[in-house]
Structure 1
Amino acid sequence: MVNAANVITAVRLVMVPVFVAMVVASGMVERDWRIAACLTFGVASFTDYVDGWIARRYGLVTAFGKVADPIADKALTGAALVLLSWYDRLPWWVTVVILVREVGVTLLRFWVIRYGVIAASRGGKIKTALQVLAIGWYLWPFPEPLSDVGPWIMAAAVAVTVVTGLDYTLRALRMRMAPSA
């Protein structure tokens, strides 16, 4: 269970409360704390790519990693979205749509687990990249004209989030309806 990929996943889990503390310390108004929170979020988000690559490349995929990795991802993204909404930077409906999709896809994966695995799609990876970019954009203390770009990136993230959620739903239904071999 203890391997490089799992250690990186565990570090990401530990980074979530550190990130939350930095955002709270910033109150989304203190420039230096916002920068620190954004950088922490960026590093934590990057570890998701790194731990997955290490696990696949070196055959270090474990049951712990399969469970802990998505939990770490959802905790980090979920905390960021809730905090951005809490500090009135992001409409609550955006946070709700994204979190409902994330929880829904996780439940769909469990619903079909005995029939197969719903692997992450290219759209799902684009969704993740857009969400990370949008959250980072909201966290970084950009001056007024540049800060106006954040909602456009988030709009793209929400659109891809909804479309990929529907795609995963259709894939799960097809998997459940397929005749058993």
Structure 2
Amino acid sequence: MIKEKINLIELYMRKKINKDSLIQEYKKNFGFIDICYELNLSIEKKDPEFLDCILYLGDVIKYKYNCIYLLEKLILEKWHYKHEDLARLLQEYKSPSSVDVLYLASNLNLEYLDFDDNYSLAIKCIWGISCIGNENTIGKLKILSKSKNQKIKNNAILLLNENHTKK
């Protein structure tokens, strides 16, 4: 059934069907669209292609995630390539529980990002931490501001300064 869902979503991606047809066919073939259920299934199966399609579908239908814990779990998993998208979602939802997870994700050593000299994932995580804006935020930014990595350090310092000027 996962393959059929991927195939349907890919039809939309390739502009073979429109959004209404995607939603109608999905509901007809698989029932109610529950992105959280699908995320959990992608975790069980450790299927990066399925995760990619489900996150895409969530974006297309403007899904409101009530399963932040699954996004937090996924961002720390190493079997997929959607870490930056997950960091963006966690930043958007601003859950206090995401601060620690984003901090951990900022320090992930992912093989597929070895080429990234800009440290995009780490920077997205740092900005996500800052957007949450609770007491834990300041502590994590202070730790990151002592990083040996200059880009991480500079972003953390910038956001620490911004957080102090907001108060």
Q: For the superposition of Structure 1 and Structure 2, which TM-score range results when normalised by the shorter chain?
A: 0.3 to 0.5
TM-score by length of 1: 0.35
Which structure exhibits the higher relative contact order, with contacts defined as CA atoms closer than 8 Å and separated by 6 or more residues? Answer: 1
Give the structure-2-normalised TM-score. 0.37
